[in-house]
Structure 1
Amino acid sequence: MATPTPSKPKFLRRLSLPERNFVAEALRAETVGGVLLLVAAIAALIWANTLGSSYESVRGFHLGISSLGLDLSIQHWAADGLLAIFFFVAGIELKRELVAGELRDPKAAALPVIAALCGMAVPALVYALVNVFGNGSLDGWAVPTATDIAFALAVLAVIGTSLPSALRAFLLTLAVVDDLFAILIIAVFFTSDINFAALGGAVVGLAVFWLLLRKGVRGWYIYIPLALVVWGLMYNSGVHATIAGVAMGLMLRCHRKEGEEHSPGEHIEHLVRPVSAGLAVPLFALFSAGVGISGGTLADVFTRPETLGVVLGLIVGKAVGIFGGTWLAARFTKAELNDDLAWPDVFAVASLAGIGFTVSLLIGELAFAGQDQLTDEVKAAVLVGSLTAAVLASVLLKLRVRKYKALVEDEERDEDQDGIPDMYELGKPEYHLRMATIYENKAAEHRRLAQVAGAGRDDGDGPA
């Protein structure tokens, strides 16, 4: 008896129903948050370029407790405090992907992880090359490495393009892995003058947080004060305070036990994500994206090596890195692309990943701390690069919009109206029984209508 040939793994294959539902819910929240982020960025630019003195006064206003080392400006509260909420959600997303999502299977995870790594390495290389040959500063090499999933999804919402769930999940997985490595970059390369006493206190606080979770202790009135203490200690340690957020997110249990509809991590993410996407990230954008835009500033973006490196890193580096990494990984793992999609679809998503906003702005502030003019120019470069990547991706996605709409309609079709898309039930006998009943009822209704129409027909001798 001949041994059956094993089927080749499929890249961008159809998601399982639970994974599809989770991705759809998560991306809906991110899309709404992305639109708010877009509005906040535009508001910041208008505010900074019309009433610049008031903008600087507000974001430079200090408040907090000096004795605790927390007398911070509004801008720093947004970057170090509110973004900790964003990274907390990112930590939960990463944990869920590792235990229940696309990253739980090492073979399946290899492709998006390699794609994300290449999508960070190539922009950094592009930046480095531009600055080596242009005699610029290499300090900003990490600025173009980040992807902003919320902003990317906001672009999709604005241009009205529906992506099939597999492409959307690929974009989400890329962003999750991207966030992980961005966190590592911040922790390793932008940490100096460590206060080991504060860091030790933060580690003890995290250990208590983990122990309470394992003991099943419940109550927001316990965890929120503890999280604030851990955050404050982490900030004073010299390690970027957002690391506290991702560490606590990674500690949550994200796998479901028998009888659970949602794991604790999924439940908390559902509660916190609207705060992150609807409040924390837009406020960060409002107080970080406001840069003076003038002809001279825009000219510097394309002539100064630091800013040109950021622009080319986001536009060229991200697209080439993610697409090239994906193609190489698929080639060496012998994974076949989904029959319904083509490699230009992968390139379009790779171009969309060139929208680096939230984390890119944060890294720009860290990389060029104390150089206010250069920091503003780098922020302008992030805006220009992200906008250009958004336009390029929009054009590429529009070229295939009919195909995408057809795929999404197939995914969403539910003729038996049981709340489960038909494509997930094709192999179930009960589904075919329901469909047979539906078709028989439709046929009976057509016959009844035909009889009524025939009974009312007048052939000249009166009604038939």
Structure 2
Amino acid sequence: MTEPSNLPASKATPSTATVLRRGSHNEFVRISRILRKETVGGAILLAATVAALIMANSGFSDAYYAFRDYKIGYAPWHLKLSLGAWAADGLLAIFFFLAGLELKREFVAGDLRSINRAIVPVAAAVGGVIVPAVIYTLINLESGAETLRGWAIPTATDIAFAVAVLAVIGSKLPPALRIFLLTLAVVDDLLAIAIIAFFYTTDISVLPLIVALVLLSLFWLLTHKFSYFFGTRGWAAWTVLLPLGFIVWALVHGSGVHATVAGVLLGFAVPVLRSKRGGGPDAGPGLAETLEHRIRPLSSGFAIPVFAFFSAGVTLGGAEGLYQAITDPVAVGIVVALVVGKPIGVLLATFIVTKTTKATLDPDLAWIDVIGVSLLAGVGFTVSLLISELAFGQGSPHDDHAKVAILVGSLLAALLATAILRSRNRHYGRIAEKDAIDSDSDGIPDVYQTEQSSKG
């Protein structure tokens, strides 16, 4: 295993393809801005989780569960839900709307519009879904069909938690690693939503689903012809698009498909590029960038923490209860899948893509860096909690044990990643001090300008 060189990625052999190489400067700036917001969201998410655990294991436990289970809403539309269900079905739809926007942005106008760049994080996400699911299934194979329903719990990476950990321990790590983790987390969260739609949906009402798809098409038309319908009156758009989006969400929920799927579909419907004759990535930012800028603080600062507050609260029952929880095959499967299966899947998929495409790892990186980030991908939380409730039912013994396992597995994954990435962070810190990246008066680091001119 070789140490990364001090040379920029542009100095690699021209005929050799590289994986995890440095992206464009515009993409670096955009991703850095997202990571800062997600880091703050991760801190709020942690605080909400701790608060839920304290309340569920104190004299406030009855009040906590009564508050979580308090129902509000409109019964005829299947919308008389508990506050916990509103958080899981409604607030998480905001999170997945944002994930849909982000993934579409990456593949349409970001660095991942090139298949050579997209194949690595997508393959890593797929590997990070398949291997944990297989490991969980093998561990629970003899425990019965009920426990096997939880096979998808360890498949997702929590964006906010993983990014927050990386921000604390890896401030000097190459940007490509942070972008890799963010893209990987977005892709496998969307894979998890696909799993929810196909494997955790039972009875489907066709009529509400058809009407939802018709209104989704109308939403697509309004967003793609935004200036034609609304001109410069942005406020007018919100009076139409927000209610329309809510109706689509309500109809999907009423159809029996999990309502968070509506969030992803609505996100995919929003245009990434501003309308321009000829199209192309140079057409400029579209409505998606405006929505992402406005909705991300709502998602990371409110929607996800509130969901965590209602979902992470589990009564441990002292040392004996904790022992029963972590020895349940469900819990064992989740912990092993997150701590072992997730990094193996991510690393193995990345390695296979590298070897089958005859590519090399970017010379600025070493495989130990990829191992560290792969371990960090085992920090599963938000979507794992959601799938646990769908698989076992909120408040059931298996669900409670799964929640404990998700917390334990995510903590272990974060600690192991920290042990590796902190040492790598010091290594890259010494490189930065020794060979600082200079900037001209335009504020763009020279290394990006060098790569642009070499491509030109």
TM-score, normalized by length of structure 1? 0.87
Q: Which residue of structure 2 lines up, in the alignment, with residue 273 of structure 1?
A: 296
User: Are residues 372 and 411 of structure 1, via their aligned partners in 2, closer, same or farther at CA, if it must alter by over 3 Å?
Assistant: farther
Q: Which residue of structure 1 lines up, in the alignment, with residue 305 of structure 2?
A: 282
Choose from 67, 76, 86 the match for 1:67: 76
**Secondary structure of 1:64 counterpart:** strand
Q: Is the 8 A contact 2:273 2:283 kept in 1?
A: no
Q: Which residue of structure 1 lines up, in the alignment, with residue 272 of structure 2?
A: 254
Deviations 1:28-84 (A, max 9, x none): 111111111111111111111112111101101111112322110000000000000
Q: Is the 8 A contact 1:83 1:280 kept in 2?
A: yes
Q: Is the 8 A contact 1:17 1:424 kept in 2?
A: yes
Q: Distance in 2 between matches of 1:266 and 1:128?
A: 40
Q: Distance in 2 between matches of 1:169 and 1:49?
A: 38
Q: Distance in 2 between matches of 1:157 and 1:270?
A: 20
Q: Distance in 2 between matches of 1:196 and 1:341?
A: 50
Q: Is the 8 A contact 1:135 1:305 kept in 2?
A: no
Deviations 1:147-186 (A, max 9, x none): 0111101222444644321001111111121022111101
Q: Distance in 1 between matches of 2:394 and 2:258?
A: 17
Deviations 1:382-407 (A, max 9, x none): 11100110111111111212223356
User: Are residues 230 and 117 of structure 1, via their aligned partners in 2, closer, same or farther at CA, if it must alter by over 3 Å?
Assistant: same
Count of matched residue positions in the alignment of Structure 1 and Structure 2: 425
User: Are residues 367 and 23 of structure 1, via their aligned partners in 2, closer, same or farther at CA, if it must alter by over 3 Å?
Assistant: same
Q: Distance in 2 between matches of 1:128 and 1:23?
A: 35
Q: Distance in 1 between matches of 2:86 and 2:394?
A: 17
Q: Is the 8 A contact 2:19 2:362 kept in 1?
A: yes
Please tell me whether Structure 1 or Structure 2 has the larger radius of gyration of its CA atoms.
Answer: 1
Amino acid at match of 2:65: E
Structure with greater contact order relative to length (CA < 8 Å, sep ≥ 6) = 2
**Secondary structure of 1:399 counterpart:** helix
Q: Distance in 2 between matches of 1:211 and 1:135?
A: 48
Q: Distance in 1 between matches of 2:112 and 2:255?
A: 32
| Unaligned stretches of 5+ residues in structure 2 | 1-12, 231-236, 277-281
Q: Which residue of structure 2 lines up, in the alignment, with residue 332 of structure 1?
A: 356
Amino acid at match of 1:140: G
**Residue 181 of structure 2 corresponds to residue 163 of structure 1:** no
Q: Distance in 1 between matches of 2:125 and 2:338?
A: 13
The Cα shift of 1:368 comes to 0.6
Q: Which residue of structure 2 lines up, in the alignment, with residue 201 of structure 1?
A: 211
**Secondary structure of 2:248 counterpart:** helix
Q: Within 5 A, what are the aligned runs for 1:48-447?
A: 48-50=56-58, 51-134=60-143, 137-159=147-169, 161-216=171-226, 217-218=229-230, 219-256=237-274, 262-293=285-316, 294-369=318-393, 372-406=396-430, 413-426=437-450
Q: Within 5 A, what are the aligned runs for 1:38-53?
A: 38-50=46-58, 51-53=60-62
Q: Which residue of structure 2 lines up, in the alignment, with residue 455 of structure 1?
A: none
- Percent identical residues: 51
Q: Distance in 2 between matches of 1:297 and 1:182?
A: 30
Deviations 1:203-259 (A, max 9, x none): 111011011123223411110010111111111100000111110100111135568
TM-score, normalized by length of structure 2? 0.88
| Unaligned stretches of 5+ residues in structure 1 | 430-464
Q: Is the 8 A contact 1:119 1:317 kept in 2?
A: yes
Q: CA RMSD in A?
A: 2.1
